[in-house]
Amino acid sequence: MPADCAGQPNASPSQVLKMMMTKTKSGMSLCVPKFILRADADRLEAGFLTLPWKRHTMRIHGKEVPVPRLYQWMGIAPTIYGERIVPIEWTPEALEVQQRVHVATGFLFNSLNINLYRDHNDHIGWHSDGEEEGLWEFPIASVSLGAVRYFQVCPYHGNGKLKRRFHKYFGEPDQPVALEHGSLVVMPAGSQEFYIHRLKKRPSSTERAHGST
């Protein structure tokens, strides 16, 4: 529950969440900086660090190239980069994050993709989450743990044409938003069809960051 809930005794968790949210310029993403308090965020991060991390590869110009981040998946798993994901069992930390987000948003998410950004070079470029990862009629919630990383959103007018002339369809990107330890981002239902997003590299940092989506 957000830190300021104690100051709103008659408000429901979802009402308090709305009070604390800040919108990106485009309105596509809603951000809560201190969704999970520091001590709990530290504990959750420590638990997630013990996961058996995996790494995707992408085929680029005929070569298998490692993706610049690690991942793990729980719940209903998709096929990504041509790889059928084999999920692991939900951990206590994952179930706690699921419940916290459920209480705050009213949605009980049935899958969890956890990305580990090991240092400043790990990142994820412009993309939208495909429907194989979750139906677009539902929102996407992302909890960040660890080092501050910068999240950015951009309108996209390619009607799903991501493979050719990708930048041709870009709108004006929002200013990057700093995702602090314990923060929450919610991307509304339908947003993946008309917006793309990324997590930028962070110059000169060796701190780890986790994104639980």
Does the pLDDT value for residue 212 go beyond 80? no
Alpha-carbon torsion, ordered 4, 183, 143, 157, to 10 deg:
120
Name, of 5-14, 91-100, 127-136, the range with top average pLDDT: 91-100
Q: How confident is the model at residue 201 (pLDDT cuts 50, 70, 90)?
A: confident
Residue-wise pLDDT tens digits, 37-46 = 999 999 999 9
Q: Exposure string (b/e) for 165-187, b if CB count within 10 Å is 16 or more?
A: eeeebeeebbeebebbbbbbbbb
- Nearest to residue 104, comparing CAs of 211, 180, 17, 189? 17
Domain 3-212, CATH homologous superfamily name and number = Alpha-ketoglutarate-dependent dioxygenase AlkB-like (2.60.120.590)
Residue-wise pLDDT tens digits, 123-154 = 998 887 766 655 667 888 999 999 999 998 88
- Residue 1: the pLDDT is 33
Nearest-angstrom CA–CA distance, 7 and 11: 9
Residue of 207 and 41 predicted with greater confidence: 41
Parse the chain into domains and list their residue ranges.
3-212
The residues facing 143 across adjacent strands are 184, 212
Report helix, strand or coil for 76: coil
CA 130, 152, 208 angle in degrees (round to 5)? Answer: 90
